[in-house]
Every structure is written in C-alpha cells, then in structure tokens.
Amino acid sequence: MYKKVMNSPVGKIEIIEENEKIVELNIYNEEKNEKKNNIIEKDTKLLLEVEKQLKEYFEGKRTKFEIPLNPKGTEFMKKVWKELLKIPYGETRTYKEIAKKTGNSKASRAVGMANNKNPIPIIIPCHRVIGSNNKLVGYALGLDMKQYLLDLERKVVS
C-alpha cells in the first residue's frame, strides 16, 4: 500500500493506493495529522494521476474522475457506492432515490450509513445525496464541506 498527501481547498487529502487501485481518500483540516502512518509515502503513477484529477476538480476543470477504485465495504455498501458514481456532476439525489436504485425503497437509513462509511469521498460523490425535503442532511466530513462541494459543482455547471 502506498499513500500521497496533497493540499487542497478543503484541507490535506491523503490518497491511499493498494494493488494499483484507490482504496481510501481521507480529508483533514490543519489540526489533524494523517492517520495511516504505517503506509509507504510514494509518488506512484496512480497517486500522481489522482492528485492531478483532484486538483482539476477543485479548479472546476474536471467533472468526472477516471480512476480505478476498490472501496472496502459490505456488498450493500458497494452497491450504494456504485449508484453514487452514477449521479451526474452538479446534480443531487435523495437517500430514498438511491435506496430504490439498490432494490429496496425502505433502505434510506442504510444508504445513509453506507454514505457515512464511504472510504473515497469526493471521487465517490456521497456529497450529492440529500434529504427527501431537498435539505442537506448528514455528511461524514460535515455539512459545511458538503455545501462547499455542491456549490463548487453548481458554479461550474451554471
């Protein structure tokens, strides 16, 4: 496993690669330190590409990531994350809509938990999932971060 730490408008981002796929993306504010200290820090071809694509995303130049992913989670979580990848840039879906796409319209809470456990935020866009009343609800990185990412995308598409 290898990692790269980059600076971004939302804080430090730690990108973790395993077997030439991205398995984790951690975002830290300045007070926190990277938590995966046992992983070798190395500028692999993939990590440099992810850094490039993330920079383009924050600059409003990239609307879709083209990166091999291997998020770790249950089969249900992976099903949810696969649906999140289908949400177009600059758009949102409700937890209920995602639940329906996974085959269980009553699984909104489970979708919320899968979002909360998303190991590759931004790239797997859990920030694009909102409450059924079109309100921002729940985001593991905080509602301010969710709003920032949604505003960034809306500014680019408008």
Catalytic residues: 126
Longest alpha-carbon distance in the chain:
44
Helix (H, G, I), strand (E, B) or coil at 92: coil
Three-state DSSP at 28 gives strand
Distance CA 92, CA 71 (A): 21
The amino acid present at 96, given as its one-letter code, is K
| Edge-first strand listing for the sheet containing 40-41 | 21-28, 11-18, 2-8, 40-41
First CA to last CA distance, the chain: 39
**Nearest 5°: CA angle at 35, between 47 and 119?**
60
Whether the Cβ atoms of residue 40 and residue 1 lie closer than 8 Å to each other? yes
